[in-house]
Structure 1
């Protein structure tokens, strides 16, 4: 059985929060976190197959605590499961108040990527967790996949009722 260790997929990046990163509430723009997570999590996913991947979903997105000026944030992402062409990555962003050294959990999510090459398949059969955190995130992979399938079906049903015409057009 071909296996890969979570730590073999680990991607880590640290960033300092500056005034230009803040929204009108004095906290980091949520979109900035999502952008960073998407970039770093894709590195973890590519470490599985060494092929281009595309983002398919973000779920279990939790903005736990805000990041403010003079905080740093450390993003960690690692693979927690995969299907035949999909790769799930857990990402967390921890913060540090640089003036005090206090640390906090700021953000978590799961992102799913799909191998861009249509004929490519994930060659591994199992991801091996080593830390208690990894054991917990990997343990519920099948549950998250089932929930994603349900959500996808609901999204497809809703999309049948979405109007794609521009509101200013003369479509009747």
Structure 2
């Protein structure tokens, strides 16, 4: 009985890390970062694009962001990434609530059998949240790399995957691992 409680606590910690990192990835403005391909030393700005805003970092140290207000003007991969990342955060949060009730080390949540069913439900929520986080990160990365490799795109308009994409991949891993353990 002790090892399974320990594994549940480990999975719960992974799930908390997954929820936090998925939320951070959703909010970060650096899903795409301007690439320094063929630029000269006089380049004055660095640009970043996120799910919710585009930011520019000027050589003077000024950091300016503008929100993306129109949903319909966005490309399909960006609309999908927004939606699935928000759904991932919601499913993972619901999984955390269920996991807190289903942990063997807690006194609330009902009988041993109902705790088992609750823990399995939490695991399913985490797996779904992990997949919902993995899909936009993969699709977004594919779009950025495809555009980067396109020879018709000028060098000044090329972007690379930013840190938020990597955070999304890590959070998907945390959530999937927690779901499988639960």
TM-score normalized by the length of structure 1: 0.27
Q: Which has the larger radius of gyration?
A: 2
The answer to which structure has the higher strand fraction is: 1
The answer to which structure has the higher helix fraction is: 2
TM-score normalized by the length of structure 2: 0.26
